Chains A and B, each alone.
Chain A
Amino acid sequence: MARFVIRRLLQSAVVLLGVTLVVFLLLQLVPGDPVRVALGTRFDPQTYEALRARAGLDQPLVVQYFDYLRRALTGDLGVSFRSGRPVTAIVLERLPATLSLAVTAVVFAMAIAFPLGIVSAIRSGSLVDHAARVFSQFGVSVPDFWMGIMGILLFSGVLGWLPPSGYVALTEDPGRWASHVALPAATVGLVTASILTRFIRSSMLEVLSEDYVRTAEAKGLRTRVVVLRHVLRNALIPVVTVVAVQLASLLGGVIVIEVLFAWPGIGRLTYDAVAARDYPVLQGAVLLVAALFLLVNLLVDILYARLDPRITVK
């Protein structure tokens, strides 16, 4: 197990190296000169050259890249063109907002999708099943920003129960954090719940037709035991992947939702960095997202081995 984790971490490092290279090269292709943008109306040739030299932008690309890499290894991802603050700090301070939104959204989604998916599979063709299908069709086809706007109109505009936007850190005031996270998490979570419900339903249906489920019924076990012990556990194996992919993509920041709800997460940061051509920040954000993706994948592989004894981690 420990060897498996170490090997996977080493592999992840290689992937991250690739990510830095791709992002670095892509940014060279983007039109527009960040130093010009940073200077704006204060532009004059001397300051321009001086600033370029200070950022190392006058060096050859290869030198720039290795320079970046060398400093990245020590945790220094450069400084923001816009604010002059270290990128590492900027990116990390956005992490709690994104993390708390993503986790809340996924928990919310699972709380809806598991009961709904399980019941609609066991009672397939019933009213609950049809309702679940309408719900998930709705969730995947209606755009999330529209749902978000409707949510704001209803819950903060008409009812006045929740703040329309903004962020309070969980560590600062859990109660106010909860009231702020509710709307964006529900908006994002509803989409995830729709996808998950469909997936859980079809996975359950597939397992329900397995011979070993008939064996369990032949033993005279209660329906609850058959469903929870025999069906659900097997049905979970493919579902875990979907949950993980959803979680990972939410950790990458839900740009539209974060912008809509003024949520200061990674998505919002990426959006602002692109708008301001703040390349160091953009690079840092992408790197962090890639690292989170790899981490979630590693956790999924470990979880797989726990769920399915046929898989061993070596």
Chain B
Amino acid sequence: MKPVLAVEDLTVTIGTRRGPAHAVAGVDWAVQPGETLALVGESGSGKSMSVLAATGLAPRTARVTGRVHLLGTELTGLGQDRRRRLRGRHIGFVFQDPMTSLNPVLTVGRQVTEAAEEHLGLTRRAARSRAVELLEMVGIPSAGQRVDAYPHQFSGGMRQRVVIAMALACEPDLLIADEPTTALDVTTQAQIVELVADLQRRLGTAVVWITHDLGVVAGIADTVAVMYAGRILEQGPVDAVFGTPSHPYTEALLAARPDPAAGGAELVTIAGAPPSPLDLPAGCAFWPRCPVRGDARCEHELPPLVPVSAGHQVRTFYPQPTDGERR
């Protein structure tokens, strides 16, 4: 089956005053139809940037190389206008902060169906009833009246529902959710995760879920890619990666998850900080913080992504033993 969206050897370099910043340093991933790919990693690991660059939304100062396929069509050579036509129509976006991602001076109804007017040629009247339909679908009460309300008249959780309705207006093949729950309170977070999972089942939409919440990943993702300093360190089916993590970083991330059962016990952390994208090391970027610490090869040579089991790959010279017992 053709993946909905696939990137190969994607790099994003952003020109800054202090030289080029390597935000994404060669990344491959693919989302299959109807499936969920989770991109996880710390802030600045390149997870959002790889998706924005793939869809033509990278900042103007960014230089993007590599190949991107959307539904089997190569996007790399396409002009800005052709790419624009695919955005919104085949890919919907939900961004992090619903308080700022809606235009304050337009009604939510207008914003929800703008993409459908543009790509599907809906008339204003048809668009309005479509807007009501979409708002009902994402669970906005009395959608018939709320359609004419402005964003500031909605709560954060309700606004994120509006953004989701907006992303799904053209029934896209792919939904990109860029940390959609980070700005919400915990109860609302769960509702939004639940809503997206439910809509995905009903509409068969593929989802790229960008997050640093490993709990969410375990619950909803089919495959997961762990990113660090612009590269993927480990990827594969979520059960394999979480069940038998093979990279010391993945292992450390999973160990750092707060455990409510542990009560007041001190949180486990990973010492140190990721390298600066202005100055990526020649070898493994995680080496300075790595608990395994390897040898001089780790410091000077970039480890390749190697398979450890079906579909499960890891970028290290020292894959952790996969005994499956260690959780």
Contacts and interface: CB of A to CB of B under 8 A. Distances in A.
A181 B230 CA distance: 63
Contact of A308 (B102, B105, B115, B163): B105
A42 interface: no
Interface stretch (B27-35, B93-101, B219-227, B242-250): B93-101
B115 A215 contact: no
B63 interface: no
B118 A211 contact: no
A207 to B, nearest CB: 10
A215 B102 contact: yes
A225 interface: yes
A229 B101 CA distance: 15
B104 interface: yes
Contacts of B92: 218
A219 B103 contact: no
B212 to A, nearest CB: 19
B152 A309 contact: yes
A230 B92 CA distance: 18
B101 A220 contact: no
Given A211-B95, A214-B95, A220-B84, A310 B104 contact: yes
A165 to B, nearest CB: 45
B103 A220 contact: no
Contacts of B107: 309
Interface in A213-236: 214-222, 225, 229-230, 233-234
Contact of A222 (B95, B103, B104, B118): B118
The SS class assigned to the A binding surface is helix
Contact of B118 (A210, A215, A221, A307): A221
B57 A309 contact: no
A233 B105 contact: yes
A87 B100 CA distance: 55
The 7 A-B pairs of least Cβ separation, nearest first, read A220-B88, A220-B87, A211-B100, A218-B93, A219-B88, A219-B115, A212-B103
Given A211-B95, A212-B102, 12 more contacts: A215-B93, A215-B102, A216-B114, A218-B57, A218-B95, A219-B87, A220-B89, A222-B84, A225-B118, A230-B103, A309-B107, A310-B104
10 contacts: A211-B95, A212-B100, A214-B95, A215-B93, A218-B57, A218-B93, A221-B114, A230-B103, A233-B106, A309-B150
